Chain A
């Protein structure tokens, strides 16, 4: 299921469901940057690769999304395409492709950070479900 934007008085959240954890991470990453500007993945031309390890699934998601935000800000990029590879023992590597901020027509304000508020990342029957709120 494509991500869905969740209303929040001051900030913004997204939720998504996917067949695999890797797809869920990809959907949440895509949803986070779509809040700034929903771009066609085919536009991606600058790529960075980041990896994180964590102790829990929610931490893994917060950490990888936070790292992507960092890369976006220091690289002056808005990401729109993501290749996700899950490692063993709660590790993930993401190759994120994007375009320069200067070429983007912003649909929303920059995201300051990924929060732990109402954070959910879990397996539900045959699906993976995630819900994340962002400080904007």
Chain B
């Protein structure tokens, strides 16, 4: 796939074949060389075939090869002009996202209680394969309708959490009846569980503050211990995407739509199948919002126990909870006029700038927190949304893989990866030591570079860098 360099950080794939718009990748020369090593750019071009897509098929600086959409892909379709919605533009882990929690503790506090904190988290956070959840399955019906709000009513979390969640932790338009029995069966035993793979819980320290005003608004300060967790809708979401892709295959034929990759199956947003998907997706998203909310509740209990203080004295306020696998109906400007779009973000973070009406009042002046987790051995970043974002208010969602799991396992054993992390002052509590090598730092791109490109390309603005000191993995 050939690129044309548009400016220092933008590379364009000109429309060819059935592409309705160009592909546009945000990267510096180092990152674009990594894109050239795999098939992600082909997938950017494939997404440009979607009916109703406008402006461009975008890829964030952490782009890598996915299935259907690239990971890091953003596509917006015009709802009013038979624009489509594609479950492949959301992925199997519907509403997978990241939650960041502040604290009243400094790094020195963590050092004094390191083993006890990590022990509490190890004991309390269900993860890996098999059943195990914090919340009972009887909460599921309410959670599917009302997301984190239902979990709050059941006694999990703090009241001010919801204001710091994207969509206030409840996706509108959810219809639990749109979920299959299989999906509900998978979700019943997993409400409040981390999963495995690249999902994690990390204890981090604010290592560097770049934007003191925004950091203060987010409740962050240099030296503060923070907790980041990354997970999604678990088996319930995976099953929902599987079910919906099965529906969309024949529906796509009825609507006269063809796409270059079956995983890009799509139907008009306004069709019965399109509305059905969005209703099922929203119910699954509600599971994910609640899942992270319930896990955060247990994180607070872990710290309160480890420090022998009431939860209210932990200062563990929610900085923000943001999704990076969703399709959302948003009003954004195209050619200078506001239009209703279906914005797909597959491994991309929503990044609303200052003044956006969907932001809570206390964040309106600085913009939405954008959370970019890195690797368990390097760093993560907090950025803020900026106005004038060229990709439908989207930014990167992580460092982005650069190495297959198979290859990563050949480089170092899980035991060696753990030793290196521990030598670097990072406590590790793995569900499986053997799996650590698949998620080793060397399997990912340089997250500092990804955050830097986001900043320089006008996707989001850097606020603070976070350094891991403790990792809990599935």
Contacts and interface: CB of A to CB of B under 8 A. Distances in A.
B197 A117 contact: no
A36 B129 CA distance: 10
A73 B186 contact: yes
Interface in B211-260: 235, 238-239, 241-242, 245-246, 249-250
A119 B261 CA distance: 9
B434 interface: yes
B67 interface: yes
Given A109-B197, A110-B197, A112-B92, A119 B262 contact: yes
Interface in A72-117: 73-74, 76, 78, 101-102, 104-110, 112-117
B432 A106 contact: yes
Contacts of A113: 92, 238-239, 241-242
Contacts of B262: 58, 116-117, 119
A54 B292 CA distance: 36
A117 B185 contact: no
Interface string A44-85: 000000000001001100010010001001101010000000
Interface string B62-99: 00111110010000000000000000000111000000
Given A113-B238, A135-B92, A8 B261 contact: no
B263 interface: yes
B131 interface: yes
Given A9-B403, A55-B250, A112 B238 contact: yes
A76 B67 CA distance: 27
Nearest to B232: A112
A9 B404 contact: yes
Given A8-B65, A10-B66, A76 B250 contact: no
A109 B38 contact: no
Given A63-B246, A74-B185, A8 B68 contact: no
Interface residues of A, number: 38
Given A9-B404, A66-B242, A109 B71 contact: no
Contacts of A11: 66-67
Contact of A106 (B189, B403, B435): B435
B304 to A, nearest CB: 30
A73 B235 contact: yes
Main secondary structure of the interface of B (DSSP, over half): mixed
B39 to A, nearest CB: 9
Contacts of B38: 9
B324 interface: no
A102 B129 CA distance: 8
Interface string A22-61: 0000000000000010000000000000000001001100
Contacts of A55: 250
B474 interface: yes
Given A117-B263, A119-B262, A133-B67, A9 B235 contact: no
Contacts of B238: 112-113, 135
Interface in B83-124: 91-93
A104 B68 contact: no
A76 B435 contact: no
A116 B197 contact: no
A106 B197 contact: no
B249 A59 contact: yes
B415 interface: no
Contacts of B128: 106, 110
B404 to A, nearest CB: 4
Among A74, A76, A112, max chain B CB count under 10 A is at A112
Contacts of A117: 66-68, 261-263
B129 A105 contact: no
B17 interface: no
B182 interface: yes
A59 B250 CA distance: 11
A12 to B, nearest CB: 6
B68 to A, nearest CB: 6
Contacts of B47: none
A36 B434 CA distance: 12
Contact of A10 (B65, B186, B261, B265): B65
A7 B130 contact: no
Contacts of B402: 9
A136 B405 contact: yes
30 contacts: A7-B404, A7-B406, A9-B64, A9-B402, A10-B71, A10-B401, A11-B67, A12-B404, A12-B406, A58-B262, A73-B235, A74-B186, A102-B130, A105-B432, A106-B128, A106-B196, A106-B432, A106-B434, A109-B405, A112-B93, A113-B92, A113-B241, A113-B242, A115-B67, A115-B68, A116-B68, A116-B261, A118-B67, A135-B67, A136-B405
Given A109-B435, A116-B265, A117-B263, 9 more contacts: A8-B404, A9-B403, A10-B65, A10-B401, A70-B182, A70-B186, A76-B131, A102-B130, A116-B67
